[in-house]
Amino acid sequence: MKPVALITGTSGLIGGYLLRSAGRWAPGWAVEGITRTQLDLTDEAALSPAFQRYNPQLVIHCAAMSRTKDCEQDPGRAARINVGASALLSRLAQKSRFIFLSSGEVFDGSAGWYDEHAEPNPINVYGRTKLEAERMILKNPAHTVVRIVLTAGTSEHRDRSFVEDMCRAAKAGQDVTLYADEFRCPLPAGAVAISELSLSGMVVLPR
């Protein structure tokens, strides 16, 4: 039987890219993707038996409540999805390789050019939930956290990327409200999914 790689959040940018390109980065593996509509990751009664059925040797956890505004408006839900579901998956994957996609928003942005030794200091709900999840996940030395940056690309329903939001607003003749106090370095989902993970040694499957 082929070893199984399980990817969460495959309706999003990075998870979707990993699933679509699995033939290139995971030959010889059975790559399974799950979305929020298929399985509620916050529901332990549903997730535990599903996890046992998949029995994955690798879990790449991309699913998240990632819109900063949504997290601020509903911090309880953000905590359930970003912290609770991540911690549950990590416990279920005690004997599996586990890669958690966190965020650069665990930092406050006052310095820039952060590395893994920089001290986190999140200033919003999203960043705080990601940092809390990181600390729970890294209790397992076999598990890995990758902090990603602002991601561009195309999602399954065309509603996950800031580029998709801007294109949709432009087509509707609507104004686009942006920020004047942030300097960001967007990367395509493919570059984040393949280059960053594989070059960092996090994804160990043959390309």
Q: Which two tokens stand for residue 128?
A: 């705080």
CA distance to 113, 150, 170, 196, 203, per residue, from 184 (Å): 11, 7, 21, 17, 25
pLDDT (0 to 100) of residue 86:
97
Domains of the chain, each with CATH number or no CATH? 4-151+187-199 (3.40.50.720)
Query: Which helix or strand (DSSP H or E) is residue 102 part of?
Result: strand 97-103
The answer to whether residues 20 and 27 touch, using CB atoms and an 8 Å cutoff, is no
pLDDT (0 to 100) of residue 199:
44
| Consecutive 10-residue averages of pLDDT for the chain (207 residues) | 91 88 83 92 95 93 92 97 96 93 92 88 96 95 88 70 76 82 78 62 46
Q: How far apart, in whole angstroms, are the C-alpha atoms of residue 149 and residue 192?
A: 8
* pTM for this predicted structure: 0.86
